[in-house]
Structure 1
């Protein structure tokens, strides 16, 4: 019975997060009340407060469902040989990220964070975006640094500049796609752009 109760509580929490996604996307974060979210989920405010302290707590939990730490993406690939192929690790991790972004939940939540969220109480969307960007850039610097030590990075290109160039390309692609995701597949276009950029950044056979 306890196991069933725990499962039911988890299902309730997920249903509230699903409802938050839908209402935030429709009304914006600042204009959405917790009562509206509870009502949309066909639950009481008491049920919502059982799982979340406030709107900021709920918003953070919603973001956590779609977080994609770069190192976790690499580890999910499950290929130990990538340690000796850091540029390929970057490529495969980014492709896995593109695949996830095309899933409706990932697209919705990122659209909320970028386009439907203002600074409100304890919710600061710019700070959250900066945190994710800094995390990704730090991981990219580590992998490009490894590529440089192995002689896989283009001569004269520092890991820091390589990471910034890659992050700028990915950020531009992401925002272009998020504005109108029906125009193109981020996986298809991202694969072409990423492969081209990594080829230009890699050491040539003559180096």
Structure 2
């Protein structure tokens, strides 16, 4: 019985996060109340407070369901590739990231963070975006530094290569997030990453 109760509680929590995600997408985070989320999930507001301290806690739980540290994508690349061919590791990790970003839930949550969330109370979307940005930059820099040590990077410094690559990824992702119907992120992203790495690679 206890095991069933625990499973039911987990299912209730997931249902509330699902409802919050849908309400945030439709109305925006600031304009969505816990009461609306509870009603949308077919539950009471008390059920929300049983699982979450407040709306910020619920919002962060929604983000945690999809957030993956950038390094995790590189951890899925073969170790020999990551160690000996860091530029190829960047290519493979980015392609994995594009495919993951195109999953419906990932796309919705990132859209909410970028375009449906204002700063208020305990929710600071700019700080969250900056944390993601720093994570991506630090990992890219590590692999571009390794490429430079292996004499695989052309004339740019690892720092300059990181800035250029990150700017490309950011522009590509934000453009796709606003208009995902225009192109496949994975298809266009793969082409852009391969073209850019070709320019950055030491001949």
Fold shared, TM-score > 0.5 on shorter chain? yes
Note the 1:173-192 alignment, pairs <5 A: 173-192=172-191
Q: Which residue of 1 aligns with 2:149?
A: 149
How many Å apart are 1:51 and its aligned residue? 1.2
Shift in Å, 1:42: 0.8
CA deviation after TM superposition for structure 1 residue 139, in Å: 0.7
Gaps of 5+ in 1: none
**What SS does the corresponding residue of 1:61 show, helix, strand or coil?**
helix
1:2, distance to aligned residue in structure 2 (A)? 2.4
Q: Give the deviation of 1:3 after TM superposition.
A: 2.3
Residue 45 of structure 1, CA deviation: 1.2
The structural deviation recorded for 1:68 is 2.3
Is the partner of 2:66 in helix, strand or coil? coil
Mean Cα deviation higher: 188-197 or 47-56: 47-56
Correspondence for 1:169:
168
RMSD of the TM alignment (CA)? 1.0
CA-CA distance at 1:88 after TM superposition: 1.2
- 1:106-117 equivalences under 5 Å are 106-117=106-117
Offset of residue 64 of structure 1: 1.0
1:130 aligns to 2:127 (yes or no): no
- Secondary structure of the corresponding residue to residue 156 of structure 2: coil
Whole-Å separation in 2 of the counterparts to 1:56 and 1:94: 30
Counterpart Cα distance in 1 of 2:47 and 2:35: 10
Count of aligned pairs: 202
Structure 2 equivalent of residue 80 of structure 1: 79
Q: Is the 8 A contact 1:90 1:140 kept in 2?
A: yes
Whole-Å separation in 2 of the counterparts to 1:98 and 1:71: 14
What's the CA shift for 1:44? 1.3
Within 5 Å, give how 1:82-97 maps onto structure 2.
82-97=82-97
Q: What is the DSSP-based 3-state SS (H/G/I as helix, E as strand, rest coil) of the residue aligned with 2:76?
A: helix
